[in-house]
A and B are shown apart, each in its own frame.
Chain A
Amino acid sequence: MTNDQYITTLNKALSGLDSTSRNDIVQEIKSHEAESGSSLFDRFGSPEALAEQYLEGETIKTPVTQKVAGLGKKVFLWVGILASTLILAMAFFIWNVSSDDFNYADETAAELDQSSADWVTKDWKTGMSINIEQTSAVLYWHDQPTVRWQCNGNEAPMLDTERLTVRQSSCLIMLPKEDMRIVADQSQVVLVRPQASLDMKIKQSSLRIAENDTQYRYDVSANRSNFDGLKSYDEAEYTIKIESIEAMISAYKKD
C-alpha cells in the first residue's frame, strides 16, 4: 500500500468524524510522513486500525445511510400522526353525523305517528305504574286510554296488571293522560309535556323535561342530585313530584 493509498483509506475510515477533525488528522499524518519519509503502513499499522484508535470514544457522525433511515422514521412518524389525526377527525365526524339529532320535544314528529306499524298498543288501567331500568325512554302523552311503545333493545317491554316494565332498551312511549307513578333506575328519561300529575322516583338517572310552554308544579326531594333549569308554578295544573337519588333533573334541550 502506497502512502497515498494509505491516506485515502484512512480518510475514508474516518468519515464518521467531522470534516475539521478528519482534516487535522490526515494533515498531521501527512506531516509525519514528510518528516520521517517512511512507509505509513509500517509506522502506523493498517489505516483501519489507526482510524479505530482515533474513533475510540468519539461521537460518530451519522452515516448517510442512517440519515436516510432516520428520514424514513421521521416520514413514518409524520404519516402516523397524520393518519391518527384523520382517524380522529373521521370519528368525530361520524359521531357528529350519527349522534341523535332527533328532537324528542317535537310532539308532531312523523316518528310518533300512531298509525306506524311498529308501535305496540296495550290497554292501560288506572293505577298502573311504569318501571324503567337501564333504559333510554322518551315519554309522551296522547288522548287514548292506552299505552303504546316502540322499543329497540335486549328485552321487550313487559306489561302486567300493575305496571309496564322496560329494561335495557331504547323506547318511545305514549301514555294516557292519567296520574301515575314512574320509577327510573340507571336510565335516561325524557318527559315531553306531561299531561298528568306524576309521582316519580329516579335513581342514578338523568331526567329531562320538555315543558313545551306548559307550566308545572315541581315537588322535588333531591338526594345528591342536581335540579336545574326548571321553574315551579304553584298555580300549575299538574304536579310532578320527584324523589331523586344521585340523579340529574333538567330542562330538555335537543342534543
Chain B
Amino acid sequence: MENTTYQKWLAQLRKGYLELCVLVVLERKESSYGFELLQLLENAGLSINEGTLYPLLNRMFKNGWLTSHWVTPSEGGHPRRHYQLSDEGAELLPQMLETFQLNQQAVEKLKELKNDE
C-alpha cells in the first residue's frame, strides 16, 4: 500500500474518532485543556500530535460541541484554555458512540464472512 494514501485514509478515519474520543474524555473529566487531553489520549494508546489536536478542539468548539474558558493555574503560569462538553455535545455523544459501535460490529461481521455467503 502506498504510504501517502494510507496516511490520507488514516487522517480521514482519525478525524471522526478523535472527536469522539475527546467527547468521551470530557464527559468523564468534565473539564480539560489541550496539553492534558494530549497526554490522556496518548496514555490511552492514541498517538496524536499537537498540530492535529488543537485545531480539532478549536473546530469542535466552533461546532458548538464544546464550551471553553480560560483558567489560570493555582500554581501560576500561563492561563489554560479549558474545554467542557456543551449541551449539544453531551446530547450528541451517545448517538456517536452508538454509531461507532454499530460500525465496529459491522466490521466484525464482515470479517466473519465466508466464501460461500
Residues of A that sit less than 8 Å from B by CB: 21, 24-25, 27-36, 43-45, 49-50, 53-54, 56-58
Contact = CB atoms under 8 A, between A and B. Distances in A.
B50 A32 contact: yes
A21 B49 CA distance: 21
Contacts of B58: 21, 24-25, 28, 54
B7 to A, nearest CB: 14
Interface in B75-92: 77-81
B100 interface: no
Interface in B48-81: 49-52, 54-55, 58-59, 62, 68, 70, 77-81
Given A53-B52, A54-B54, A58-B62, 11 more contacts: A27-B78, A27-B81, A28-B58, A28-B81, A32-B34, A32-B35, A32-B50, A50-B51, A50-B55, A53-B55, A56-B55
Interface of B: 33-35, 49-52, 54-55, 58-59, 62, 68, 70, 77-81
A34 B78 CA distance: 7
B52 A34 contact: no
A5 to B, nearest CB: 17
A56 to B, nearest CB: 7
A58 B62 CA distance: 9
Nearest to A59: B62
B81 A49 contact: no
B35 A36 contact: yes
A252 B66 CA distance: 81
16 contacts: A24-B58, A24-B68, A27-B78, A27-B79, A28-B34, A31-B35, A31-B78, A35-B35, A35-B78, A35-B80, A36-B35, A43-B49, A44-B54, A45-B49, A45-B51, A54-B54
Contacts of B54: 25, 28-29, 32, 44, 50, 54
A54 B79 CA distance: 21
Nearest to B81: A28
Nearest to B63: A57
A132 to B, nearest CB: 79
Contacts of B52: 53
A164 B41 CA distance: 106
B81 A31 contact: yes
B49, B58, B59, most chain A CB atoms within 10 A: B58
A53 B49 CA distance: 12
B100 to A, nearest CB: 22
Contacts of B68: 24
Nearest to B36: A35
A57 B55 CA distance: 11
Contacts of A56: 55, 59
B50 A43 contact: yes
